[in-house]
Amino acid sequence: MQVKTEAIVFSALKYGEADLIVKAFTKSNGLKSYLLRNILKSKKGRLRVAMFQPLMQLEIEATHKDKGTLESIREAKVITHYQSLHTQLSKSAIVFFVSDMLRTVIQEEEENSRLYTYLSVTTLWLDENTDIANFHLLFLVKLTGYLGFYPDDTEVEHDYFNLLDGTFEPSETNLYCRTGNSVSILKELLGINFDELSNLKLNQQQRSEFLNMLLQYYELHLHGFKKPRSLAVLNSIFS
């Protein structure tokens, strides 16, 4: 089936001497994997390696066989020309971490326009703004809403957050209950949008401790989840 759709690149891995395997989240069909033959050697082809950097937003013409095998892309064009996303060191670190996370946690091969719009809009926000040190924290908190385990904030006034159940509780009920500064940060993030991120003042230790709690939350709710390798790079950039 021939498909024309928007797509957000999650990863591009070298395969053999000249090929790339690209994972992308498409607006029409969810997550897809594509084999781009000879792209690393071709100088005159319609597809360029630079198009397939993490979180690039493209319009593609592709062939989808939908048989669980690698698909193919006939044509692609960049629909969002970023100003700083891949050139500023701090933003690049966030981009690699976020794309690493997305590649791990998003597996659905079906249309999800709400999730696609979220990824598109937030990536644009990251490109256009400068106060971005806590972007990935809010991004991951809000992403849980699209993955089905957004924290239940109906009793957000309680001191403990139960990572296993995703609820706030007045006392510790199991080994996965957390309290203290990281829970306070979670409460703040649940109540703000991206334009309010500049009001959240965190040091490196607070940011790291909260992210570790958040990744444990992901691990408890997503089978087979593992911390991305890019986490160490991200922590070093914002240390």
Is the model's pLDDT at 120 over the cut of 70? yes
Q: Note the pLDDT of residue 66.
A: 79
| pLDDT, tens only, 102-117 | 999 998 889 999 999 9
Give yes or no for a contact between 161 and 214, defined as CB atoms under 8 angstroms apart.
Answer: no
Q: Note the pLDDT of residue 214.
A: 97
| pLDDT, tens only, 26-80 | 999 999 999 999 999 877 778 999 999 999 999 999 999 878 789 999 999 999 9
Give me the domains of the chain, ranges plus CATH numbers.
Answer: 2-78 (2.40.50.140), 89-237 (1.20.1440.120)
Q: Note the pLDDT of residue 222.
A: 96
What is the mean predicted confidence (pLDDT) over 176-192? 97
Distances (CA, A) of 101 to 80, 105, 176, 185: 21, 6, 22, 21
Looking at this protein, which amino acid is placed at residue 121?
V
Q: Note the pLDDT of residue 239.
A: 61
| pLDDT, tens only, 124-139 | 999 999 999 999 999 9
Residue 182 pLDDT grade (very low, low, confident, very high; cuts 50, 70, 90): very high
Residue 157 pLDDT grade (very low, low, confident, very high; cuts 50, 70, 90): very high
Q: Note the pLDDT of residue 196.
A: 96
What is the mean predicted confidence (pLDDT) over 95-100? 96
Cα distance between residue 96 and residue 11, in whole Å:
9
Q: Give the number of C-alpha atoms closer than 13 A to the C-alpha of residue 33, restricted to the C-beta side.
A: 13
Q: Note the pLDDT of residue 139.
A: 98
| pLDDT, tens only, 195-223 | 999 999 999 999 999 999 999 999 999 99
How far out from the chain centre does Cα 236 lie?
Answer: 19
pTM of the model: 0.94
Query: How high does pLDDT run on average in the chain?
Result: 94
Q: Phi, psi at residue 128, to the nearest 5°? A: -95, -10
What is the mean predicted confidence (pLDDT) over 76-91? 95
Helix (H, G, I), strand (E, B) or coil at 145: helix
Q: What percent of the chain has pLDDT over 90?
A: 85
Cα distance between residue 135 and residue 99, in whole Å:
13
What is the mean predicted confidence (pLDDT) over 138-149? 97
